[in-house]
Structure 1
Amino acid sequence: MYQADESKPVTGLPVSYNNASSGAAPYSSSVDSSAYYQPPPKPPQEWSTSLCDCFSDCGNCCITYWCPCVTFGRVAEIVDRGSTSCGASGALYALVCCLIGCGCLYSCFYRSKMRRQLNLKGSDCGDCMIHCCCEPCALCQEYRELEMQGFDMHIGWHGNVEQRSRGVAMTAPSAPPPQPPMSR
C-alpha cells in the first residue's frame, strides 16, 4: 500500500520535487509557460450570404415564410449539436409564437449561439434586432450559413455525424469471430 510522505506538502496540484541534498527548495515553483500557450483568437468572419439573399434558395424561403418552425427546428438541432431534436425545437418555437406572438424572442438566442460557434461577425443586440425586424430572412440566412459550413440540413445533427464518420477508416481491430457454443 502506498504511504504518503508527511514531509512533502499535499496540495492536489502537481509539483516537482528537487533533490534534497542540492539545498534547493522542497518543490519547484517554475511553470513551463509553453504548456499553456494559446494561439491568438482568429478575427470574426463575415457571413457567407447576406441577410437579403433569401431567394437564392426558393424552397427554404417558402418553407420559412409559411412555416418558420421547420427552419428554426433544423437550425436549432444543428446549433445544439443534437441535444434537442428538430421536432422539439420547432414545436417549442411554434408554442412561443402562439402564446406571445413573437418567436423572435426565442430564435435570436440561437442566432447568437450559432454566431459564437462559427466565429461570425455580429453582436447579441444586432442578433435580436435582426430577428425582431425580419425573422424569416434571419432564419433563412442561418440555414444557408449552416449549409455553407457543410451541414446537410435535411438529415439533422446525428445524420451529419454518421455521414462524416463513414469516411473515416476504422483503426480498431475487428471483433473476433464467434465461437461455437459450449457443450457438455
Structure 2
Amino acid sequence: MDHLGYYKTEETAGGPVMTQPQSTTQNVVVVTQSPGQVVIPPGHWTTDLCGCFEDITSCLAAFFCLPCYRCYLADKMNEHCCMPLCLTAGADLMVLRMKMRTMKNIPGGAISDCCAVTWCTCCVAAQLSREWDNSYMNRQ
C-alpha cells in the first residue's frame, strides 16, 4: 500500500493503479461525557395549568388584575418589571413560560406556549408563579 492507501501489485507496481481497495472498516459511534458536563433529565410542571386551587391567591390576583400581575411576575422571575409593557399582549407570558421550560428542562414548544397563553392567560400566569415558588430558582 502506498502513502495514499492504494494497493500495488506486481503488475501495477510501476504503472497506475486501476482499482481502489474495498473498505473493510466498520462505523463505530463513541459517546463520551466530559467530566464537568451534567445531563439534565426532562423535567415536568409541578402543578397543572388549571391548578389554581393549589394557590388561590395567585389565581385571584391574575384574574382580577392581570396587567399588574404580569409586571409582578416578570419581576419575580428576575426580568424587568416593565417587560409586559414593552411586548404585545401575551408575548411576555410566552417568554416567561419558555424561560421556565428552559430552566427546568420541561418539554414543550412555542406553539403549545402560544396556545396556553392565548386561551388560558390567567391560568398561565398563576402556574408560572406557582412553578417559580415550587422550584429551586427562588432560593438564592
**Superposition map of 1:25-44 within 5 A:** 36-37=34-35, 39=37, 41-44=39-42
Paired residues of 1:48 and 1:148 also in contact (CA < 8 A) = yes
Structure 1 residues 150 and 41: alpha-carbon distance in aligned structure 2, compared to 1, 3 A threshold: closer
Unmatched 5+ residue regions in structure 1?
1-33, 97-102, 153-159, 165-184
Preserved CA contact (<8 Å) 2:93 2:124:
no
Structure 2 length-normalised TM: 0.64
| Residue in structure 2 matched with residue 129 of structure 1 by the alignment | 115
Matches within 5 A, 1:79-158: 79=77, 81-82=78-79, 84=80, 86=81, 88-90=82-84, 92=85, 96=88, 103-150=89-136
Contact kept, 8 Å, 2:90 with 2:121, in 1: the verdict is yes
Deviates more, 1:53-62 or 1:133-142: 53-62
Which 5+ residue runs of structure 2 have no aligned equivalent?
A: 1-31
Aligned-partner Cα distance in 1 for 2:128–2:115: 15
Q: 1:44 to 1:151 in 2, by over 3 A?
A: closer
CA contact (8 A) 1:45 1:121 kept: yes
**Equivalent residue in structure 2 for 1:46, among 36, 41, 44:** 44
Q: Distance in 1 between matches of 2:122 and 2:135?
A: 20
Q: Which residue of 2 aligns with 1:56?
A: 54
State the number of aligned residues: 109
Further displaced range: 38-47 or 137-146: 38-47
**RMSD of equivalent CA atoms:** 2.8
Deviations 1:57-99 (A, max 9, x none): 22111110011123322332243x35x1x3x235x16x84xxx
**Amino acid aligned to 1:89:** M
- 1:121-174 deviations in whole A, cap 9, x for unaligned? 32221111100111001111110000101566xxxxxxx6xxx4xxxxxxxxxx
Q: Which has the higher contact order (CA 8 A, sep 6+)?
A: 2
- In structure 2, C-alpha distance between the alignment counterparts of 1:74 and 1:63, rounded to whole Å: 10
Check 1:36–1:46 CA distance in 2 against 1; reply closer, same or farther (3 A cut): closer
CA–CA distance in structure 2, aligned partners of residues 139 and 48 of structure 1: 14
Distance of 2:36 and 2:125 partners within structure 1: 34
Distance, in Å, in 2 between the alignment partners of 1:51 and 1:113 is 16
Q: In structure 2, what is the equivalent of residue 72 of structure 1?
A: 70
